[in-house]
Chains A and B, each alone.
Chain A
């Protein structure tokens, strides 16, 4: 296959893989520092209670204990991603079962545990609230954050907190209004209305949350953490403690899985503990149980969708209400309230559209960001609804979707003009891979087969920035500096490929330095599937800047105008001369520096513009960086006696603009399939009255290797629609790969056994219950017994 590029688009071996297969890759927990202390936390046993008294006297006496802290030792400034609502340790009130109330640092884990067990807390229990729909009423029985209007908020350009004064537990409320919704429903010839829910699911990264903090004798705070947002966490810590920015350093080693989950209070909390023992680093590792409770989970959504369509399949009206259970502290919820809405916007062309999205406090353990940032939940509802409408209209679900899809140049319900829309091709490819037109072959016995399909979109956030530095070494090799997190998605490799392509250098002349805010430049965060686009562009621009500097140095050396010079493959070429006129290393002095300016460092900031949207209508010109698209198609079998679902074939196609590394794109698509299977069929953190009942890998089940189709029955393809602003046309992929999975599986289950489940996960028991009710209603209608 002819490629216009040498490295971009090629299956380049990952630059991190050698370290990982040899066990040499360093994760946060592998770091050992002299004098390191262990941190353990005491957590609240009540979902809502006043703290009257904390007696740490016995804990302080345990040999090896260096510090015991409570909320009184924590700053009054709270932590939060967009809304500073969470104290580092509970102050006066606890708001969920599991909220950290005290922290201990000690020389051994056993001493820390013993000290935690020895702390005595006097609580006065308060009534608690767990149902978000009840909590969002105008007079809820419990107000979780009475001081909400006073909390400090980050007024970034694209997020405004909309604290609803008459709904005291609502964090914010996002609106989209397009057309005339009442008129739309008047024109409809069929109205379908349903309620959908998703469960609280967990990232289940295999590396547990781990933070090390050191406050040294110079007053410099250094943090090592498995983070996805080093710079912004650093900013939060600077803010909370009133530190000088020059004295806070945040380092992110290799991360053993992120999946959107790594924004939490723990870096700030561990820093607080570290400050008690200047010169002695402290390490906090959450147990898996703690991670299930208070490493925030995916927000459970309640989504009401009401659709009006014409008999010919045109959607004329769509009304959506989304209710997000933030749990006790909001973390990312405030952003997700708005950004989940993009999931309802990105795929379809709808003339009359109304959306209201609410973030609500409850006394459940906190929920926050997760791969998909709310789009999974929103599109679970939308795509399930599309499947049902198609069936009721007697239309093929693929054709029904295509009839209503946005195309290049269409205006979406928020007023943005669609660009780079590969949705239809993804859908067609997925349909082809699953042989959509062929009915599955049924066999005698309790297993009934079915096929299902769904499409999905994933926006990438606009209005953020990423920076990159590209340093040229004396042999002409380049060193790229960035602060993306390598969470497994392969960002280091992508940036190396982009740099190699831009500089014309082989991969082994590109080095990546990542994740140290003293050395690597700003990045908004490894989230929203944004790194390839944002940092990729920044790397490309920084390479171009480096080449400009090289040309200028060469120009001086050669006495030739810089604009006649071109830099490529470690050489400098002059217009009109076929051979290189200079080698890049010749610009350096012996010892490895340049005479003018010491170093050649290409620098760039890539910003994606954003326009503020209208608060009442959600209309705006540039609200997202772009949408990526994808489709899943599934063939499965349902056992009508046990409700078990076996996924037999899983296929899909995704539009990531341009695959920078096709094999790595496959990695993402295959991973999305796996998370899709688990999150659709059995993943659920069971929370009863605020207690997490199953905080472990035994009872919270993620798919093992045996719960997947055979490899011959898994096939992924790409249908890239290049984006004019992406590096080489590339967009993002990491989250979109999960989104169509739940509705595709649900659609296949309906195809197999004729029942629709609207509440995730689709467990065996829900299937059996629905089958039993279907049989009953057949009986009631005189249909005879089965």
Chain B
């Protein structure tokens, strides 16, 4: 039995009709066609499905659809503003922080949430905040470098 859910995605109001046993991940990918959010393990361990709900990173594969009602979601697609890349996206490019790219959207969103709350994190704080995002390609070195590079600039979120 599908039910209507009203919420906001990337600044736009949306309404979808889904069964209650769907997850936010499925809504974003299958209903709203936002393919930037990825499914990696479906059990909340890898973080590839990370999106921001009301500014906080959450694993969308572990959010039951009806709980999304009234929330404001940010996905990787919502980071570009006026055709300009977000500073984190720019930093990930410049610092070679991307290899296969599958963890990248979730990683960037977790990093954004960190910098929004703590614009000048130490390296330890960066690692602590990103520990829910697995990457198998990079060893995280350039991911940390990209985030720290952003933290040294003026952060407007």
Contacts and interface: CB of A to CB of B under 8 A. Distances in A.
Our verdict on whether A and B bind, yes or no, reads yes
Interface of A: 11, 13-14, 16-27, 29-30, 32, 203-208, 254-259, 285, 287-288, 487-490, 663-664, 666-667, 670-675, 696-698, 702, 704-706, 708, 710-711, 714
B58 interface: no
A29 B38 CA distance: 9
Instruction: Name the residue among A23, A258, A714 with the largest chain B CB count within 10 angstroms.
Output: A23
B20 interface: no
Contacts of A16: 98, 101
Given A207-B100, A670-B141, A706-B127, A23 B76 contact: yes
A22 B89 contact: yes
B136 A20 contact: no
B100 A206 contact: yes
- 10 closest A-B pairs (Cβ-Cβ)? A23-B36, A488-B100, A20-B101, A256-B102, A488-B99, A674-B139, A697-B45, A670-B139, A23-B76, A30-B35
B133 to A, nearest CB: 7
B41 A697 contact: yes
27 contacts: A14-B96, A21-B76, A21-B93, A21-B105, A22-B77, A23-B77, A23-B105, A25-B101, A27-B38, A30-B35, A208-B40, A256-B40, A256-B100, A256-B101, A258-B100, A288-B43, A488-B99, A666-B142, A667-B137, A670-B140, A670-B141, A671-B138, A674-B135, A697-B46, A697-B134, A704-B134, A711-B144
Interface residues of B, number: 56
A206 B135 contact: yes
Interface string B10-45: 000000000000000000010001111111111101
B99 A254 contact: no
Contact of A206 (B43, B96, B103, B141): B103
Given A22-B80, A23-B77, A705 B127 contact: yes
Contacts of A255: 100
A256 B142 contact: no
A131 B35 CA distance: 44
Interface string B37-60: 111111101101000000000000
B75 interface: yes
A32 B33 CA distance: 9
B77 A287 contact: no
Contacts of B133: 705
Instruction: Name the residue among B39, B128, B133 with the largest chain A CB count within 10 angstroms.
Output: B39
A487 B94 CA distance: 20
Interface of B: 29, 33-43, 45-46, 48, 75-77, 79-80, 85, 89, 92-94, 96, 98-105, 108, 123-124, 126-128, 130-145
A143 to B, nearest CB: 37
A696 B134 CA distance: 13
Nearest to B143: A705
A286 B79 CA distance: 30
A254 to B, nearest CB: 7
Contacts of B142: 666-667, 670
B140 to A, nearest CB: 4
Given A23-B105, A255-B100, A671-B139, 14 more contacts: A13-B93, A16-B98, A17-B93, A22-B80, A26-B35, A27-B38, A206-B102, A666-B141, A670-B142, A696-B45, A705-B130, A705-B135, A708-B139, A711-B123
Contacts of A671: 99, 136-139
Contacts of B96: 11, 14, 663-664, 666-667
B76 A667 contact: no
Contacts of A32: 33
B130 A489 contact: no
B144 A705 contact: yes
Instruction: Name the residue among A32, A255, A259, A670 with the largest chain B CB count within 10 angstroms.
Output: A670
Nearest to A488: B100
A708 B140 contact: yes
B143 A21 contact: no
B131 A705 contact: yes
Nearest to A255: B100
A207 B139 contact: no
B46 A489 contact: no
Contacts of A488: 99-101, 137
Contact of B134 (A20, A24, A206, A672): A206
Contacts of B131: 704-706
A13 B90 CA distance: 11
Contacts of B38: 27, 29, 206-207, 256
Contacts of A697: 41, 43, 45-46, 134
Contact of B145 (A11, A22, A711): A711
A584 to B, nearest CB: 30
Nearest to B148: A711
Contacts of A674: 135-136, 138-140
Given A29-B39, A205-B136, A697-B134, A20 B104 contact: yes
Contacts of B102: 27, 205-207, 256-257
Contact of A670 (B36, B39, B132, B138): B138
Nearest to B126: A705
B19 to A, nearest CB: 9
Contacts of A14: 93, 96, 98
Contact of B136 (A19, A30, A206, A698): A206
A412 to B, nearest CB: 31
A207 B36 contact: no
A273 B68 CA distance: 36
B42 A714 contact: no
Contacts of B128: 706
Contacts of B98: 14, 16-17, 20-21
Nearest to B89: A21
A667 B42 CA distance: 27
Nearest to B19: A110
A663 B96 CA distance: 7
Contacts of A708: 127, 139-141
Contacts of B99: 488-490, 667, 671
A235 B97 CA distance: 36
A286 to B, nearest CB: 11
Contacts of A27: 38, 102
A667 B89 CA distance: 17
A624 to B, nearest CB: 26
Contacts of A29: 38-39
B75 to A, nearest CB: 7
B45 A711 contact: no
A666 B145 CA distance: 13
Nearest to A704: B131
A672 B136 CA distance: 9
A696 B45 CA distance: 9
Contact of A204 (B29, B93, B124, B136): B136
A283 to B, nearest CB: 12
Instruction: Name the residue among B45, B138, B140 with the largest chain A CB count within 10 angstroms.
Output: B140
Contacts of A663: 96
Nearest to A664: B96
Given A23-B76, A487-B100, A203 B92 contact: no
A710 B45 CA distance: 23
Contact of B141 (A24, A258, A714): A714
B101 to A, nearest CB: 3
Contact of B41 (A17, A667, A696): A696
A22 B140 contact: no
A664 B96 CA distance: 7
A489 B96 CA distance: 11
Contacts of B76: 21-23
A377 B34 CA distance: 41
Contacts of A673: 139
A637 to B, nearest CB: 17
Contacts of B138: 667, 670-671, 674
Contacts of A670: 138-142
A696 B44 CA distance: 11
B99 to A, nearest CB: 4
Nearest to B106: A206
